[in-house]
Structure 1
């Protein structure tokens, strides 16, 4: 297990864009015998998107019932378009529609306001 703290993507100076991908997966991994699991592909894409100009970060969560929500943040629409047309991302989307997803939706929103909060770490009390 990683010792990294779980934390949301920090607030950025608006305007910027949020790409909200909400999905429900098919039963099982949907691997189809090709060797590339959903988890492997997601990890690979998570590394690739970091190289897209204007990418600001990504938050992701999954409910016990199987609903997954990923929000990727981009400085501008050009970055989103660059990612949308990236060859490996396109191949993964096509494979996902055929094997991994029962359904999904994608929303792109312009962020007009952004702020954050982080609790200060308190010093341990003396014994």
Structure 2
């Protein structure tokens, strides 16, 4: 949910499934880049307070496609975030100014594994 380029680049550590992923893909306009960045940072802090929030991953391509994935323990957490007043206001601004188009997908994660070259498992999937 953030455009920060100085953030540590690594995937979010997640618990054993099942959990849920809210996948947000978007293509932005050129309108109000500073307001967007401030709002994205603010929302990234707020979502951490939502009960059931587990973490987030986000990336943006040079061509402007953004993909943000927010992970939640259950659908109730996603619904709490969807209905959060600051998030609702940001969605309105997004439709009015910041996005050419976007899509949201909600998925139940049934399986997951991770790999880290520097993990105690010697580089084998965890």
TM-score normalized by the length of structure 2: 0.85
CA RMSD of aligned residues (A): 1.7
The answer (yes or no) to whether the contact 1:15–1:111 under 8 Å persists in 2 is: yes
Q: What does residue range 40-119 of structure 1 map to in structure 2 within 5 Å? A: 40-119=38-117
- Structure 1 stretches of at least 4 aligned residues deviating more than 4 Å after TM superposition: none
| Alignment partner of 1:12 is 2:15 | yes
Query: Could you tell me how far apart the structure 2 residues matched to 1:91 and 1:5 are?
Result: 28
Deviations 1:74-105 (A, max 9, x none): 00000000000000000000111000000000
Based on CA coordinates, which of the two structures has the bigger radius of gyration?
A: 1
C-alpha displacement of 1:6 = 1.7
Structure 2 stretches of 5 or more lacking a match?
120-126
- Larger RCO (CA under 8 A, 6+ residues apart): 1
| Alignment partner of 1:24 is 2:22 | no
The answer (yes or no) to whether the contact 1:11–1:116 under 8 Å persists in 2 is: no
- Secondary structure of the residue aligned to 2:48 is helix
